[in-house]
């Protein structure tokens, strides 16, 4: 790992520490579990918003199937992230490829797609970006758990840091890419979805609609030629 890779992950560091702490505080103040269960969730689940959902479901005594179903729906978008990275990681070593897959988050994906790593540096750079972001989340979660266990702390509003972080990364990618059509389509669909789609499924429906529109545009483009 070199300094340039670390510098690319600083925005994620600034977002994951407070957001991870918000998860840790929520875990510590909502559930009557030992502190290390919260840390283990951060290590093995590593799902961002999915961990907030998990705490809520555990608090309501939800069953395993219910937890699995809602987590799958919430993180369904990662299937498309993985598909778009297949060509990039196909020649990576077995263990690095699978670590990158496990550590893939919205923010890690944005950095990977937003950075112009040379072919020689791509495997190492992807790996360290994924690992650093992973460690930031674990650190933030652990800090939050101990804060929540040791003092009264109001965590409301801290979760907005993830949305702000993703907006910054998305705008950075928008400025660097020549193909801006997906951003425009996604923005229009998302804004329309606020008024037309059910709140609990707006993200999932918006993703599906955007993909269908982009595939349709690409289909008509090819046929027009």
Convert the pLDDT of each residue in 21-75 to its tens digit: 888 988 888 888 899 999 999 999 998 878 888 888 888 887 888 788 778 877 8
pLDDT digits (tens, 9 = 90+) for 66-125: 788 778 877 877 888 888 888 888 889 999 999 998 999 888 988 888 878 888 888 999
Residue 25 maps to a domain: yes
Task: Bin 61: left if φ > 0, else alpha if -120 < ψ < 50, else beta.
Answer: left
Distance spanning both ends of the chain, measured CA to CA: 45
pTM value is 0.71
- Give how far the C-alpha of residue 99 lies from the chain's centroid of Cα atoms, to the nearest Å: 15
User: Buried b / exposed e across 144-173, counting CB within 10 Å, b at 16+?
Assistant: bbbbbeeeeeebeebbebbeebbeebbeeb
pLDDT digits (tens, 9 = 90+) for 114-168: 878 888 888 999 999 999 999 999 999 999 999 888 876 555 665 565 566 567 6
The number of distinct structural domains making up the chain is 1
Token look-up 């070199």 returns 2
| Cα gap 25→3, rounded to integer Å | 31
Residue 171 maps to a domain: no
Residue 176 maps to a domain: no
Residue 169 maps to a domain: no
């Amino acid at each position: 790992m070199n300094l340039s890779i670390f510098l690319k992950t600083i925005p994620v560091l600034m977002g994951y520490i407070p957001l991870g702490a918000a998860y840790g505080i929520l875990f510590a103040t909502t559930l009557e579990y030992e502190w290390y269960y919260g840390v283990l969730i951060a290590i093995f689940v590593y799902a961002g918003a999915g961990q907030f959902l998990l705490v809520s479901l555990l608090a309501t005594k939800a069953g395993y199937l219910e937890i699995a179903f809602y987590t799958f729906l919430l993180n369904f978008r990662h299937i498309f992230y993985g598909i778009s990275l297949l060509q990039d990681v196909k020649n990576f070593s077995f263990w690095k490829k699978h670590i990158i897959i496990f550590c893939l988050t919205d923010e890690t994906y944005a950095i990977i797609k937003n950075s112009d790593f040379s072919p020689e540096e791509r495997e190492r750079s992807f790996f360290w970006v994924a690992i650093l972001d992973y460690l930031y989340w674990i650190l933030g979660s652990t800090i939050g758990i101990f804060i929540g266990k040791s003092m009264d702390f109001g965590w409301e509003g801290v979760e907005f840091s993830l949305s702000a972080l993703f907006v910054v990364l998305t705008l950075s990618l928008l400025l660097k890419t020549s193909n801006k059509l997906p951003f425009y389509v996604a923005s229009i669909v998302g804004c329309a979805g606020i008024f037309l789609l059910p709140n609990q499924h707006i993200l999932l429906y918006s993703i599906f609609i955007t993909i269908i529109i982009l595939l349709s545009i690409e289909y008509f483009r090819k046929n027009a030629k």
